[in-house]
Amino acid sequence: DIQMTQSPPSLSASVGDRVTITCRASQNVGKYLAWFQQKPGKAPKALIYVSSTLQSGVPSRFTGTRVGTDFTLTISSLQPDDFATYYCQQYHSYPLTFGGGTKVEIE
Amino acid sequence: EGQLSASGGGLVHPGDSLRLSCAASGLTLRDYSMTWVRQAPGKALEWVSSISSGGTNKYYADSVKGRFTVSRDNARNTVYLQMNSLRVEDAGEYFCAKRGPSCNGDSCYSDHWGQGTLVTVSS
């Protein structure tokens, strides 16, 4: 199985900060990496697919990049609505696997 | 965009069975492969199972293989997850999600998720 190692597990930031979350795949997943946002008690919300393509309706402050098996989600200017937990997921092959999540909290 | 709604969760004992349903409104599920993902309280998301649009191809996590069965009734616009021999570690919120605009073969990204249904397994 492909392991997805996400870091950091949590971070504290302020509104307006630039935030970066990383995800490393244990083997090649090509471009097939997605990012999700989840708020407490809610279903996950799709943000990015094929490493860098924004899901329709997602603000442009969210950016995804890929270098080999390393993936990054960047929020350029953190907004109050962005405080949540973020997950990466590879969909290169079954079993689909998620990272452990990154909780973005208010500093 | 339509809505997905998962139901069928509840409190059961170890060894019991449950059938979860994922119904769609404003969305034609037969056009999409579908996926079930679960989340234990306070834990990360975990993929459980996926089924192709026609129902022919089915995929399972090792942790549920042989105990869970995914199926679909496209006429009823509903996907199911039959869960047998439930274990304490199967407890959590179960979400259904539809295939998004990107796949690698049969492995697809999920772009639209329904609200979950809670499964509690306790003796």
| Each residue's pLDDT tens digit, A25-78 | 999 999 999 999 999 999 999 999 999 999 999 999 999 999 999 999 999 999
Q: Which residues of chain B have pLDDT under 50?
A: none
Amino acid identity of residue B17, one-letter, is: S
Question: A35 at the B interface (CB within 8 A)?
Answer: no
| Shortest CA gap B33–chain A (Å) | 13
The pLDDT, as a whole number, for residue B2 is 87
Distance from CA of B15 to the nearest CA of A (A): 25
Task: Say what the pLDDT of residue A79 is.
Answer: 96
**What is the per-residue pLDDT for B1?**
74
Closest C-alpha among B16, B31, B36 to residue B80: B36
* pLDDT bucket at A106, cuts 50 / 70 / 90: confident
